A and B are shown apart, each in its own frame.
Chain A
Amino acid sequence: MSSSSAALRELQRDLENKANDLSKLQKDIAKNHQVRKKYTIQLGENELVLKELDLLNEDANVYKLIGPVLVKQDLAEANANVRKRIEYISAELKRLDSSLQDLEEKQHSKREAILKVQQRIQSHQAGKAKA
C-alpha cells in the first residue's frame, strides 16, 4: 500500500514538473510574439523609407539622425543601409518563425504528456479506492 502511494506522489511530482515546463513554454511563445511584432513594425517602417529614397533624384540631400546630430549622407549609402537593415530584419523574422513552430510543437507534446500523467494518476487513485 505504501509503495502505491509513493508511486502516486512520484506521478504528482512528474505532473508538477511537466506543468512548470508547459508554463515556461507558453512564456517563451508569448515573448516570441512580442519580438516578432516589434520586428514586423520595424520592417514596415524601413520599407516605407526605402520607397521614399527610391523616389528621390540622385542629387537630393539625405540626412541621418545619429543621436542629437543630423549628418549628411550619400543617397547610395542610405539606400544600402536601409536595404541591409531590411535583409537583417527579414532574416530575424524567419528565424523567429521557425523557433515559434518548434516551441508550439513542444507545447503540443507537453500537453499530451501531461494528459497521460493525469490519466495514470486517476487510474492509480481509482485502483487505491477499490482496495
Chain B
Amino acid sequence: MASSRGAGSQQVIRMADLEKMSLDQLKAVKEQADIEVNLLQDSLNNIRTATGRLENASAALHDLSLRPQGKKMLVPLTASLYVPGTLDDADKVLVDIGTGYFVEKTMSEGKDYCERKINLLKSNFDQLVEVASKKKTLADETGVVLQAKIKQLSPSS
C-alpha cells in the first residue's frame, strides 16, 4: 500500500473497495483525500487571485490607451513616493513574460497578451475544478462509509 502512493500514481477507489477496508484504512484514505482536496482548493484560490490581477492589468492598459500623449500624471517611485510627470508614448508597453524577461509590445499586443493569459488561467481553473470535485466526492463517500462502519462496530442501542 505504501508503494502505491509512491510516484503520484492515481488510485481509482470504488465503493466495493471502500466497504472491504478496515476502519484504519478508511480513516487513512479519508485523511489523504481531505488533504488533497485542501491542496486543490488552495490552487484554485491562487488561480482566482492571478486571474483577478491580470484583469486589473488589462483594465489599466485599456485606461492608459485612452489617455492622450503629454497628459500630466503622477509616477510612482516607491510605494509611498510619487513624482509628477507627463505621459510619453502610450502605444509602447513593457510586458513581463516571466523568468526576468520583459518584452516591448504595442498597446494592442499588450491587451492581446493579457487576454491570452486570462484565457489560459480560466481553462486551467476549469480543469482543476473538475479534479477537485471528483476528489471531494471521494472524500465524502469515504466519510459516509467510515461513519456507517463506526456505527456498526459500536451499537449504542
Q: Which A residues are within 8 Å of any B CB, using their own CB? A: 42, 45-46, 48-49, 52-53, 56, 60-66, 70, 73, 78, 82, 85, 100-101, 104, 108, 111
Contact = CB atoms under 8 A, between A and B. Distances in A.
Interface string B5-17: 0110000000000
A62 B101 contact: yes
Contacts, number: 54
Contacts of B113: 52
B101 to A, nearest CB: 5
B103 A60 contact: yes
Nearest to B95: A52
B98 A49 contact: yes
A45 B97 CA distance: 9
A63 B104 contact: yes
Nearest to A63: B102
Given A48-B97, A48-B98, A56 B103 contact: yes
B99 interface: yes
A70 B99 CA distance: 13
29 contacts: A42-B99, A45-B99, A46-B98, A49-B98, A49-B99, A52-B98, A53-B97, A53-B103, A60-B104, A60-B105, A61-B103, A62-B101, A62-B103, A62-B104, A63-B94, A63-B103, A64-B101, A65-B100, A65-B101, A65-B102, A66-B100, A70-B102, A73-B101, A85-B99, A100-B7, A101-B7, A104-B6, A104-B7, A108-B3
Interface of B: 2-3, 6-7, 94, 97-105, 113
Given A62-B102, A66-B100, A85-B99, 4 more contacts: A46-B98, A104-B6, A104-B7, A108-B3
Contacts of B6: 104
Contacts of A111: 2
Nearest to B3: A108
B49 to A, nearest CB: 16
B3 A46 contact: no
Contacts of B100: 64-66
A62 B102 CA distance: 6
A44 B157 CA distance: 58
Contacts of B3: 104, 108
B125 to A, nearest CB: 16
B99 A63 contact: no
Contacts of A85: 99
B88 to A, nearest CB: 16
B53 to A, nearest CB: 16
